[in-house]
Structure 1
Amino acid sequence: MAAKQQEPRLSLKLLIDEERNRVVAAEAHKEFVEILFSFLTLPMGTVIRVTSSGGTKNAVKIGCMNNLCRVVEKLSNENWETENCKSMVLHPRNPLGNYCQKLKVNIDDSWSNTKYRCSWCCSRMSWYPNVSCTCGGKTSNHKITYGVNNEGAFLQKGRTMFIISDDLQIRPACPSVLARLLSNLGLSEMDGIREMLIEVSKEQVISLLARSLVSESPLSDVFLPNPTKHETKLPERTLQTTEQNEPPAPTPTPTPTPTLNLQVTLNKSTNKLLFAKATNEFFDFLCTFLTIPVGSIIHVLKRNLGGFGGCIYNLYTSVEELEDKWFGSCLKSAILNPQIAQYHNCKKQPLKLDELIESKLLLDPRPNQNFAGEPLLFIVLDNLDVKPLSSASSSLILRELKVPFRDVEDQVITVGMNEALSLLKAALTSPSSALTNGLASFLQKKKKKQEA
């Protein structure tokens, strides 16, 4: 019987404040830092799936996103343009997945280096079988697997050590950096600081991902039994990250922002949105909430994260503040905005997020570039529960809402860039009222204009 392959692990040195039972810092080589940076490349759908795969231990509640994932999973295949479309939203591809394959411990299961070749021509391929080709053929079960080289993932070669704070601020190791970090935590000397060498497992990496989204002390949470909860005072961050002598980048020519029309029904007394009647285009837009990587979410929200992310923003600013020389070619900007994997965007994207084109020979698994079949109408509830209008019982929905009919009002809102940003932020931070928190203020402004 073949020997069971040993799970890869990484060495990590923890510095522990024994009196307060907390990790004050960790020292690690670039391989561990690359794993932390990879969290920014993961699509939100992957984050939810990976952290939920081990049961309740690592599961995190991210606004209404978990609910949206459950909705997508429950929708029958007849509501999708093809079966592949549902799979793409539930298992969105990491646009930088080829780099994540080089990590010493890789928790990203969204990326495959296997493609299916068209049965008629030899040039067009897809990640999925049975995809129609432009030549009239279909991708067959003939798989082509490409190798992945074993060179470094995101950072340049070398054995440089890094200092990682408990709230995931990362700097190249230096005694003065460590002294400043310990001083900020109220420590004046190394007495009382215990060093502990550990081997980090894949399960612990998943736990770190989960805790980084909800906690300010993920290292303590994962590696110490019953850690002392403490508030970490985060340093002030400046929005300016370019060198002072660097000339400003040229202003690109603006392109029109796609918009979506959405009919919403609200409770007039409370100004709470009860539900929305949405087209397949708006449903496709909601699907992209699960295909956008974490780094691109932070990028598009312009740091206006509200209650989202625990200390994941510290990871983001650590990438920003590290000098370009530490990264492979163009990888710093790629981590900060991985974009959306090819064919994982919607036709009308008010967030103006682009796809990262992997190959011009790849076929779109969606014949009409839609996730949902068309034409379709959906009922979207305030918590982003989505029901096809064909199967949703109008009487049941009204019964459950328990709102007097005279207190119900319909309005149409145009979802442009600002509305889309507000809705995305609400979906990440509000556990039950994404529509209300994301769109109510825009409805109020519209109403005031109408009354003026």
Structure 2
Amino acid sequence: MEQVSLKLLVNEKKNRVLFVEAGKDFVDVLLSFLTLPLGTIARLVRNDESNVKNVTVGSLSSLYESVAKLDEKQFWTATCKEMLLRPRNSMERYCKNLKLNINDDTEKTKYFICENRDCNGPDGCCLLSTFKNQRCKCGKLMKQEVFPQDEKNADADHKKVVDDKGFVLDTVFIISDDLNVMPDSLLVSNSLPTDLGCEDFNEMKLVTVHVTEKEVLDLLKCSLFSPTPFTDIFLTGCKEKPNTREAKREDVLVLKKQEEFMKSDYDFILFDFDLKLGRENPIQIKVMLRKSDNTILFALCENDFVDFLLSFLTFPLGGVVYMLDGKCCLGSIDNLYMSVLDLYRYLRSFDLRDQLLKSQLAYQFKLRNQILPIDEAPALDYTFVSKYDHNGKLLSGYLTASNDVSINQKSCVALRYLAPQSSIGGAYSDRYGGRGLVKKLSRYMVTDELAVTPCSSTSIISFLSKLRIPSSDLEERVISIGKEEGLSLLRASLVSSSALTNGLGPFLGPMIVKKEKWSH
């Protein structure tokens, strides 16, 4: 079993980790948290195989579970459901060789062409899929796996970064208990204990621990809720379950409007959203409000709002923090995120800073009607090179970068990516993204905790009857979901089990904040 050694400086009197000394292997793992899609996080933290029991993340866990329960017939293709339950990491090439990889059960991107070999010739459909068994335009299945012959040219659009050695340089780092990562130096090591309230060096003790994938999974769970994840894992033994901690109201209250953008200490504005991203037309939904306590019981909506909510599961954590102005309010994640700014000299390339801070969707995961300002990583354009026998019969083939000038142009064809949402072999649009995830002409109910189900008149009546709410206490409202409302709902989904109430309540007239213990 792989393991990584850490040195913990502990305040014995307060039973608290002051800071951790770690090398490249561990810091790479820590930074990889920012690349994980929210759906992956929801799946990992419900795992009981580590020391910390399964936890829930706001309303995301409920959203993830409802996707698992939805019938495949509700989606355009079976691939759509797969994309949500196991969303891809747009930075998988940097994570594939992590020494401790808690997401190792997710397959790396593979490439498939049509089983009909004629489709891969000059007169064929010339499609390429990153999902097995999609339907080609000719009607056959895309199940013939093909491999890139030479990937050294395929990274031309990604600044020529060696992609299998993580994020940071091979040096020593200091990590505070709240996940502030900094390069080690004598100045930092001498001043940090005092800064953390430990004046007496006699109270300090150096402890060496060995970390496996179990502890990394524990760290992910605790970092989402706790300001002291190292202390929780290595000293207190997580006696208090993370999902029972009560978040501070001032930390998680969803504001109706944020007027100030955080600025870094460098020569750029970090949170400079691309205003061209996101749809211009808002989404209209109906919400059922319980007037007595200002709770949104559920929303009635069509496929566009469901697509929007389900897309949360494909958002990488770093991209989410970026859209929320560096304040996602998840435990120690904001500190980890802001640490990347100070680590720029210790990253393996300058471009990695932006890739971590502004993490993008994996290619083909962008929705055409996405409200929020998030884009997808660019694709690697491939050409299929055919190999023939002496009689001109096609034997096999391989992929090479479209900009590879060394190939014989007569034996190759440029390929277009097949849209995962298409069941008839439609090509994916780099400019606009995919058409959506769930089918049109269906109505859905979304509960306060973001559980999504198909709905009908009888299901609505049944839901209300179980709550035993008099009709006089109910009020129907219509709300438009644009960027502002969408960001508010995204933040609420991370920290509240009443995401609709706390995310959309501020936009329904008087401020609505459900008075409850916000559990995770």
TM-score range, shorter chain: 0.7 to 0.9
CA contact (8 A) 2:112 2:145 kept: yes
TM (norm. structure 2) is 0.75
Match of 2:286 in 1: 263
CA contact (8 A) 2:344 2:350 kept: no
Matched, 1:155 2:154: no
Deviations 1:231-267 (A, max 9, x none): xxxxxxx9332436x7999996756634211111222
2-structure distance, mates of 1:419, 1:32: 37
1-structure distance, mates of 2:20, 2:130: 39
Query: Matched residue of 1:341: which SS?
Result: coil
1-structure distance, mates of 2:345, 2:487: 29
Q: Residues 125-164 of structure 1: matches in 2 within 5 Å?
A: 125-134=128-137, 137-142=140-145, 144=147, 151-156=164-169, 159-164=170-175
Deviations 1:28-62 (A, max 9, x none): 11221111000010011111211222358342221
From 453, 460, 463, the equivalent of 1:394 is 460
Match of 2:228 in 1: 217
Match of 2:380 in 1: 359
TM-superposed CA distance for 1:136, in Å, is 5.6
CA contact (8 A) 2:46 2:56 kept: no
Query: Matched residue of 2:26: which SS?
Result: helix
2-structure distance, mates of 1:377, 1:399: 20
Supply the AA of the counterpart residue of 2:191. Answer: R
**Cα gap change, 1:208/1:347 in structure 2, threshold over 3 Å: closer, same or farther?**
same
Supply the AA of the counterpart residue of 1:27. Answer: E
Gaps in structure 2 of 5+ consecutive residues:
152-161, 241-260, 382-415, 423-433, 512-520
Query: Matched residue of 2:263: which SS?
Result: coil
**Cα gap change, 1:259/1:153 in structure 2, threshold over 3 Å: closer, same or farther?**
same
1-structure distance, mates of 2:476, 2:310: 24
Query: Matched residue of 2:417: which SS?
Result: coil
**Cα gap change, 1:320/1:248 in structure 2, threshold over 3 Å: closer, same or farther?**
closer
2-structure distance, mates of 1:273, 1:419: 15
Match of 1:39 in 2: 33
Match of 1:176 in 2: 187
From 496, 503, 506, the equivalent of 1:441 is 506
Match of 1:277 in 2: 300
2-structure distance, mates of 1:150, 1:420: 34
1-structure distance, mates of 2:288, 2:304: 18
CA contact (8 A) 2:442 2:454 kept: yes
Match of 1:232 in 2: none
Query: Matched residue of 2:7: which SS?
Result: strand
2-structure distance, mates of 1:101, 1:252: 30
TM-superposed CA distance for 1:97, in Å, is 1.2
2-structure distance, mates of 1:250, 1:410: 36
Q: Residues 13-52 of structure 1: matches in 2 within 5 Å?
A: 13-52=7-46
Query: Matched residue of 1:204: which SS?
Result: helix
Match of 1:286 in 2: 309
Match of 1:309 in 2: 330
From 108, 111, 117, the equivalent of 1:112 is 108
**Cα gap change, 1:338/1:73 in structure 2, threshold over 3 Å: closer, same or farther?**
same
Matched, 1:63 2:62: no
Supply the AA of the counterpart residue of 1:362. Answer: Y
2-structure distance, mates of 1:65, 1:351: 17
1-structure distance, mates of 2:209, 2:296: 50
2-structure distance, mates of 1:338, 1:139: 29
Deviates more, 1:25-34 or 1:436-445: 436-445
After superposition, the CA RMSD in angstroms is 2.9
TM-superposed CA distance for 1:418, in Å, is 0.6
TM-superposed CA distance for 1:272, in Å, is 2.1
TM-superposed CA distance for 1:137, in Å, is 4.6
Deviations 1:84-132 (A, max 9, x none): 1111101111111111102111112445132222232275322322213
Matched, 1:201 2:197: no
**Cα gap change, 1:388/1:227 in structure 2, threshold over 3 Å: closer, same or farther?**
closer
TM-superposed CA distance for 1:327, in Å, is 3.4
CA contact (8 A) 2:94 2:164 kept: no
2-structure distance, mates of 1:80, 1:117: 23
CA contact (8 A) 1:258 1:349 kept: no
CA contact (8 A) 2:263 2:269 kept: no
Matched, 1:121 2:124: no
Matched, 1:382 2:448: yes
**Cα gap change, 1:390/1:129 in structure 2, threshold over 3 Å: closer, same or farther?**
farther
2-structure distance, mates of 1:250, 1:22: 38
CA contact (8 A) 1:42 1:294 kept: yes
TM (norm. structure 1) is 0.86
Gaps in structure 1 of 5+ consecutive residues:
1-6, 230-237, 447-452
Supply the AA of the counterpart residue of 2:193. Answer: L
Supply the AA of the counterpart residue of 2:311. Answer: T
Matched, 1:417 2:483: yes
Match of 1:4 in 2: none
Match of 2:84 in 1: 89
**Cα gap change, 1:225/1:31 in structure 2, threshold over 3 Å: closer, same or farther?**
same
**Cα gap change, 1:249/1:41 in structure 2, threshold over 3 Å: closer, same or farther?**
closer
TM-superposed CA distance for 1:181, in Å, is 1.6
From 98, 101, 118, the equivalent of 1:103 is 98
2-structure distance, mates of 1:252, 1:439: 24
TM-superposed CA distance for 1:172, in Å, is 0.6
**Cα gap change, 1:403/1:163 in structure 2, threshold over 3 Å: closer, same or farther?**
same
Deviations 1:144-196 (A, max 9, x none): 4889977421123xx32111111111111012112222002222243232222
CA contact (8 A) 1:60 1:214 kept: no
CA contact (8 A) 1:293 1:340 kept: yes
Q: State the number of aligned residues.
A: 427
Supply the AA of the counterpart residue of 1:441. Answer: P
